[in-house]
């Protein structure tokens, strides 16, 4: 059942890539890809319907032996942590394909790479074997590199290489840690359930956990390792930015939760205070830098750094509520970032600039882009944490859950949430409000087909903001079970450290 | 000694594969002598058939009960079978590549194939040689044939220079190797068979004496030259740049495999007393090779030079398995050499194809190739990405196994260095992919603008295409469907009695590991 999610996209990517005949128009390939992505999305929703919410463990498991020498097996499963990420992946893939330009150059390569990436990401979320996870994780590397550096902005070549090197380093760190985890615990297989790190000494657990945090911290990204992000997000075209920010960043936080918190609960609770502060710094840093930006895409890119900081704070607190909040924040950040990047892409396509200095008065009902501006206002509010929208729900759960554990970092994050409102007001003020320049303002009309993705996302954002149970119910049992593995040991470990 | 006893000691059946290669070699020469140039249409296929027949003969010798032949001079155990197979296959693919290339250079094909087959012969004998004189003779057969192949396109001054350089460095390293071997002969009190040497040295209480260490270092210098490990690598970039491209395809795979076969056999059998020392020396070589090969490759502008440095780096990766000294370590070496065969030959086939059509090797000239020649772009991209260790290609699984084996043996720093340098290597491999795939049509190089129409029906291009497609498919799927290759690599080690005594037991290592971990 789960294999479908991986293999339909990948196989259709291969078919599209190698299809004979040169002159297939881009629009037809796009249509085929939309169908494939739609089927995957429907299948994913079907799995969501079948998903047993009360079961905290892995569901729909699949197992095939693969390579015993390496301890690599084809082992899939889905639980509360990953189910929402899967949905996010297939939804955003569909939206990204939908929002591509109909006249893309080299369409076959473009669409097959997008489908390939989508299958790979689904594989990483589903994998129940460390090596299999790593395989799917590294599978993203080259397709994304090509997607950025072929169909990007002016500095795409630099941005692509930077992305490639950072991600490759992250992969190397993660692989080293995985090898260490499996070998030091004396396990013969890389399967998740075969590894128990409890037997390791505290120092060793700490070293391995640092490998995990650094490796995934590059991907999330956390503050000192984030410098690839503005370049990659800004230089990538809008659909690719949606995939990069919406899906790929989630791979980092998912990895942190699954392998950091899930496999080293003891060491995690020791480093948690530092992580919380780190998350708060990340959040503040992202917001402050975003205020200084003159380019709306860069602003959105830095807002992503800020919002991922909340996820780190919540994972660090690791109370049952905070973890639910972390998953909810990952999901809603995916939705909000996707709609923002889509709208920014539309504005750039119609107006021809992303500069704050040049944009003005897009709210104007006749000659401006009224609906796009309205949606931009809505999504800016969602990002800044205004009640009634999904961003607020997620952030509130995060803050509520983290306050009891780490009050000061939580307050800092609340402050950063306020700063988010500041730079989004700046953004909205400069772009949507004011007067149109009557000499240059002859913008092409926004087609209905270009509004649909944003409308779909906006409806989802509002719906989940009003009815948040649909956001949190999936992950509750799993995260509660994860917390249950931590709490009893927390006191003992802390006391040991104190005694030392 | 009666005849039956003598026959059983000679056990000539083990060298049947080499016998087939010799007959093919003679056949090629005689046919060329009688028919002249007209025979060149099919003579290459004769040679390939011979090499494949030799591989089939190897298959039937798998798990032979009596591997020792020629009174201890040759050992046909499973380890040697795998290496002989790698060498024979690499020669077969090299011939596929060279048909058009050699014809176009205006030289004779039959002579080329004859020299190539004798190099193959040298490599195959070297894989199983277990006696000092036999080792030396097969090593020199391989070397002298390599020198001749390097300078084969003798109207090209670069080819001449490369041959001279290769000969000078090769001859001196052989002399050093021979000196080390003669020391071994003396230290062991007059033994030439490898096992007997180990016993002789142990009995003479010469273990870890200065003489033994000197002999070891001299022998390693000779081996390091063949596997182009830094600091014995200096010939590699010049030879790769100057020599005909099919030749370096063979040198980078066949010759390197022969060097590793020699390394395993000689070091584990003759030097068990100084195992720590040679592992230390190899650690130094591996560190140097990985760093130097990967870092210097970043700055290359010629494709062949870039692949030269990359092959130095790949030798460094393979050495990790050798240093580990466990069963998994040796098996991972063999697995990596197997997949290296596919990916490197695939890469070289593409380079030959490109230079046949355009006459250049510069990396910058590849830009915009995707429009004119998609198959070539795909082949070169896949093989380079596989060399860089990108999943799900064969090289990824090869590297994972090497690193996993290294980690199991406690070589943490070496594995970390390997990981870091792999990241570096991705950069220079992707640079070529970027040239071919990413560049816009208006950024196309002049050479690609004037790219000839892609035709496969010219003489000698069809085999090139066959070779390209086969190695490409192997590179793509040998990783995902790697179980048979893994089984082959593992069995070849576990069925080799020679290695059993010297294997570091994994259990011992894991018993030590917790103590180390507490030290952290």
**Distance between A113 CA and the closest CA of chain B, angstroms:** 13
With contacts defined as CB-CB under 8 Å, which chain A residues touch B415? 176, 179
Going by C-alpha positions, the residue among B300, B158, B160, B313 that lies closest to residue B241 is B158
**CA A155, A216, A383 angle in degrees (round to 5)?**
70
**Distance between B404 CA and the closest CA of chain A, angstroms:** 7
Q: Does A484 touch chain B (CB under 8 A)?
A: no
Chain-chain contact of A135 with B426 (C-beta, under 8 angstroms): no
What pLDDT is attached to residue A26?
A: 83
Q: In A352-436, which residue ranges form alpha helices assigned H by DSSP? A: 370-384, 390-403, 407-431
- Which helix (H) or strand (E) segment holds residue A46: the answer is helix A26-50
What ipTM was estimated for this complex?
A: 0.91
With contacts defined as CB-CB under 8 Å, which chain A residues touch B412? 180
Residues 336 through 355 of chain B touching chain A, CB cutoff 8 Å: none
Chain-chain contact of A164 with B510 (C-beta, under 8 angstroms): no
- Measured CA to CA, the distance from residue B505 to residue B139 in angstroms comes to 31
Upstream peptide bond of B392 is cis (omega within 30 degrees of 0): yes
Chain-chain contact of B486 with A169 (C-beta, under 8 angstroms): no
Torsional sign, CA A374, A377, A381, A382: positive
Residues 107 through 126 of chain A touching chain B, CB cutoff 8 Å: 109
Tokens 């000061």 locate to: A408
Selecting from A139, A176, A203 the residue whose C-beta is nearest the C-beta of B416 gives: A176
Are the CB atoms for B142 and B172 separated by under 8 Å? no
Mean pLDDT by 10 residues, chain A (500 residues): 92 86 80 94 94 88 90 91 93 92 83 94 94 94 94 91 94 94 85 78 91 94 91 93 91 92 88 93 94 93 92 91 93 94 92 88 85 93 92 94 92 93 92 82 84 92 93 87 66 45
- Comparing alpha-carbon positions, the chain B residue that sits nearest to A186 is B510
pLDDT digits (tens, 9 = 90+) for B271-304: 888 888 899 999 999 999 999 999 999 999 999 9
With contacts defined as CB-CB under 8 Å, which chain B residues touch A69? 328, 331, 401, 486, 490
The three-class DSSP label of residue A351 is: helix
**What number of other Cβ atoms are within 10 A of residue A455's Cβ?**
13
Distance of CA A115 to CAs A5, A12, A167, Å? Answer: 11, 7, 20
What pLDDT is attached to residue A101?
A: 79
- Comparing alpha-carbon positions, the chain A residue that sits nearest to B414 is A176
Are the CB atoms for B21 and B117 separated by under 8 Å? yes
- Measured CA to CA, the distance from residue B342 to residue B340 in angstroms comes to 5
pLDDT digits (tens, 9 = 90+) for B475-520: 999 989 999 999 999 999 888 777 776 665 444 444 344 434 433 3
- Measured CA to CA, the distance from residue A21 to residue A93 in angstroms comes to 26
- Measured CA to CA, the distance from residue B260 to residue B267 in angstroms comes to 10
- Comparing alpha-carbon positions, the chain B residue that sits nearest to A140 is B391
Q: Does B328 touch chain A (CB under 8 A)?
A: yes
Contacts of B474 (CB under 8 A, 6+ apart): B342, B346, B394
User: What tokens appear for A130 in the block?
Assistant: 């460390």
What pLDDT is attached to residue B518?
A: 39
Torsional sign, CA B503, B508, B510, B512: negative
Q: Does A210 touch chain B (CB under 8 A)?
A: no
- Measured CA to CA, the distance from residue B136 to residue B123 in angstroms comes to 11
Residues 246 through 285 of chain B touching chain A, CB cutoff 8 Å: none
Cα A241 from chain centroid (whole Å): 11
User: What tokens appear for A146 in the block?
Assistant: 């090509």
Contacts of A242 (CB under 8 A, 6+ apart): A92, A95, A96, A99, A337, A338, A341, A342
Tokens 């003798």 locate to: B154
Distance of CA B18 to CAs A410, A479, B341, B418, Å? Answer: 74, 64, 20, 36
pTM for the structure as a whole: 0.93
Are the CB atoms for B352 and B105 separated by under 8 Å? no
- Measured CA to CA, the distance from residue B218 to residue A236 in angstroms comes to 55
What pLDDT is attached to residue B501?
A: 67
Q: Does B512 touch chain A (CB under 8 A)?
A: no
What pLDDT is attached to residue A22?
A: 67
pLDDT digits (tens, 9 = 90+) for A384-439: 989 999 999 999 999 999 999 999 999 999 999 999 999 999 999 989 888 887 77
Are the CB atoms for B224 and B217 separated by under 8 Å? no
Q: Does A415 touch chain B (CB under 8 A)?
A: no
Are the CB atoms for B265 and B498 separated by under 8 Å? yes
Percent of chain B with pLDDT over 70: 96
What pLDDT is attached to residue B516?
A: 41
What pLDDT is attached to residue B515?
A: 39
**Distance between A99 CA and the closest CA of chain B, angstroms:** 22
- Measured CA to CA, the distance from residue B342 to residue B478 in angstroms comes to 9
Indicate the pairing of strand A72-78 with strand B68-69: unpaired
Q: Got the DSSP string for B153-186?
A: STTSHHHHHHHHHHHHHHHHHHHHHHHHHHHHHH
In angstroms, how far apart are the furthest CA atoms of chain A?
Answer: 74
Helices (H) and strands (E) in chain A, counts: 20, 2
Q: Does B511 touch chain A (CB under 8 A)?
A: no
- Measured CA to CA, the distance from residue B169 to residue B234 in angstroms comes to 9
Q: Does B515 touch chain A (CB under 8 A)?
A: no
Mutation target to probe the B interface, by most B beta carbons within 10 A, among A160, A179, A185, A190 is: A179
Selecting from A109, A146, A172 the residue whose C-beta is nearest the C-beta of B420 gives: A172
Distance of CA A167 to CAs A114, A116, A176, A221, Å? Answer: 18, 17, 14, 10
Chain-chain contact of B517 with A201 (C-beta, under 8 angstroms): yes
Q: What are phi and psi of B501, to 5 degrees?
A: -65, -30
- Measured CA to CA, the distance from residue B409 to residue B418 in angstroms comes to 15
**What number of other Cβ atoms are within 10 A of residue A335's Cβ?**
27
Integer Rg of chain B from CA: 22
Are the CB atoms for B376 and B369 separated by under 8 Å? yes
- Comparing alpha-carbon positions, the chain A residue that sits nearest to B406 is A179
Chain-chain contact of B482 with A184 (C-beta, under 8 angstroms): no
Torsional sign, CA B407, B408, B410, B414: negative
Contacts of A340 (CB under 8 A, 6+ apart): A300, A303, A376, A379, A380, A383
Q: What are phi and psi of A262, to 5 degrees?
A: -70, -35
């Amino acid at each position: 059942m789960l294999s479908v999610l991986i293999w339909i996209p990948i196989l259709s990517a291969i078919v599209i890539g190698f299809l004979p005949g040169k002159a297939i128009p881009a629009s037809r390939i796009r249509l085929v890809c939309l169908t494939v992505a739609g089927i995957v999305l429907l299948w994913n929703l079907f799995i969501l319907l079948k998903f047993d919410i009360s079961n905290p463990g892995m569901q729909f498991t699949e197992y095939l032996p693969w390579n015993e020498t390496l301890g690599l097996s084809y082992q899939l499963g889905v639980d509360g942590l990953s189910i929402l990420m899967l949905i996010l992946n297939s939804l955003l893939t569909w939206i990204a394909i939908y929002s591509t330009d109909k006249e893309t150059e080299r369409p076959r390569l473009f669409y097959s790479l997008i489908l390939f990436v989508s299958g790979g990401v689904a594989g990483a979320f589903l994998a129940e074997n460390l090596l299999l996870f790593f395989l799917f994780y590294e599978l993203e590397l080259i397709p994304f590199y090509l997607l950025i550096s072929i169909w990007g902005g002016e500095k795409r070549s630099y941005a692509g290489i930077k992305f490639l090197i950072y991600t490759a380093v992250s992969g190397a760190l993660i692989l080293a840690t995985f090898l260490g985890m499996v070998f030091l615990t004396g396990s013969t297989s890389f399967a998740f359930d075969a590894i128990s790190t409890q037997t390791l000494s505290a120092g060793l657990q700490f070293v391995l956990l640092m490998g995990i945090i650094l490796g995934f911290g590059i991907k999330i990204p956390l503050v000192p390792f984030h410098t690839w992000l503005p370049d990659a997000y800004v230089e990538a075209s809008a659909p690719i930015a949606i995939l990069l920010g919406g899906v790929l960043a989630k791979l980092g936080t998912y990895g942190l939760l699954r392998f950091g918190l899930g496999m080293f609960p003891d060491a995690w609770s020791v480093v948690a205070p530092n992580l919380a502060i780190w998350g708060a710094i990340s959040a503040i840093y992202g917001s402050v830098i975003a205020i200084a930006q003159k380019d709306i895409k860069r602003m959105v890119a830095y807002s992503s750094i800020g919002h991922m900081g909340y996820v780190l704070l919540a994972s660090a607190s690791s109370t049952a509520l905070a973890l639910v909040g972390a998953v909810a924040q990952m999901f809603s950040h995916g939705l909000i970032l996707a709609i923002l990047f889509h709208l920014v892409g539309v504005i750039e396509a119609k107006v021809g600039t992303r500069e704050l200095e040049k944009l003005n008065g897009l709210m104007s009902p006749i000659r401006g882009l009224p609906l796009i501006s309205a949606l931009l206002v809505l999504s800016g509010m969602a990002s800044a944490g205004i009640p009634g929208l999904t961003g607020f729900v997620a952030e509130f759960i995060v803050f509520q859950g983290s306050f009891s554990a780490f009050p000061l970092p939580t307050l800092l994050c609340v402050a950063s949430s306020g700063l988010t409102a500041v730079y989004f007001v700046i953004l909205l003020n400069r772009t949507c409000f004011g007067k149109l320049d009557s000499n240059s303002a002859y913008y092409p009309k926004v087609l209905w087909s270009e509004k649909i993705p944003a409308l779909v996302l906006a409806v989802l954002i509002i719906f989940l903001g009003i009815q948040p149970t649909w956001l949190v119910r999936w992950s509750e049992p799993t995260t509660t079970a994860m917390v249950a593995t931590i709490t009893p040991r927390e006191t003992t470990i802390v006391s040991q450290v104190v005694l030392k | 000694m009666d005849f039956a006893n003598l026959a059983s000691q000679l056990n000539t059946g083990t060298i049947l594969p080499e016998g087939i290669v010799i007959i093919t070699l003679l056949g090629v020469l005689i046919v060329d002598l009688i028919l002249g140039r007209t025979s060149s249409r099919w003579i290459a296929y004769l040679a390939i058939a011979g090499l494949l027949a030799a591989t089939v003969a190897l298959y039937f010798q798998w798990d032979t009960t009596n591997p020792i032949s020629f009174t201890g001079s040759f050992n046909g155990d499973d380890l040697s079978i795998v290496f002989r197979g790698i060498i024979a296959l690499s020669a077969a693919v090299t011939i596929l590549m060279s048909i058009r290339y050699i014809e176009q250079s205006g030289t004779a094909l039959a002579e080329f194939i004859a020299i190539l087959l004798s190099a193959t012969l040298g490599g195959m004998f070297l894989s199983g040689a277990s006696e000092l004189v036999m080792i030396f003779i097969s090593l020199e057969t391989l070397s002298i044939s390599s020198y001749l192949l390097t300078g084969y396109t003798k109207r090209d001054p670069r080819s001449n220079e490369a041959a001279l350089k290769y000969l000078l460095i090769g001859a001196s390293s052989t002399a050093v190797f021979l000196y080390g071997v003669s020391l071994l002969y003396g230290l062991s009190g007059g033994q030439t068979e490898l096992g007997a040497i180990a016993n002789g040295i142990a009995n003479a209480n010469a273990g870890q004496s200065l003489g033994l260490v000197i002999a070891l270092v001299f022998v390693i210098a000779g081996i390091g030259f063949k596997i182009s490990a830094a600091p014995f690598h200096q010939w590699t970039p010049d030879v790769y740049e100057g020599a005909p491209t099919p030749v370096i395809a063979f040198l980078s795979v066949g010759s390197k495999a022969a060097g590793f076969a020699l390394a395993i056999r000689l070091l584990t059998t003759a030097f068990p007393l100084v195992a720590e020392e040679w592992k230390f020396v190899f650690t130094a070589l591996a560190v140097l090779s990985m760093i130097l090969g990967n870092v210097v490759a970043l700055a290359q502008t010629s494709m062949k030079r870039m692949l030269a440095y990359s092959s130095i780096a790949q030798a460094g990766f393979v050495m990790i398995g050798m240093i580990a000294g466990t069963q998994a370590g040796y098996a991972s070496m063999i697995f990596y050499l197997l997949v290296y065969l596919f990916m490197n030959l695939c890469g070289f086939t593409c380079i030959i194809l490109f230079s046949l059509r355009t006459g250049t090797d510069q990396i910058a000239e590849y830009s915009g190739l995707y429009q004119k020649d998609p198959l070539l772009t795909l082949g070169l991209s896949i093989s380079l990405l596989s060399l860089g260790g990108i999943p799900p290609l064969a090289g990824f699984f090869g590297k994972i196994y090497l690193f996993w084996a290294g980690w199991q043996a406690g070589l943490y720093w070496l594995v970390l260095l390997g990981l870091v340098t792999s990241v570096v290597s991705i950069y220079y491999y992707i640079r070529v992919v970027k040239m071919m795939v990413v560049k816009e049509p208006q950024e196309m190089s002049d050479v690609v603008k004037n790219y000839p129409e892609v035709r496969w029906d010219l003489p000698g291009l069809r085999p090139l295409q066959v070779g390209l497609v086969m190695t490409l498919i192997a590179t793509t799927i040998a990783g995902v469907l790697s179980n048979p290759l893994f089984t082959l690599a593992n069995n070849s080690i576990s069925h080799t009695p020679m290695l059993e005594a010297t294997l570091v037991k994994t259990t011992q290592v894991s018993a030590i590991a917790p103590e180390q971990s507490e030290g952290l």
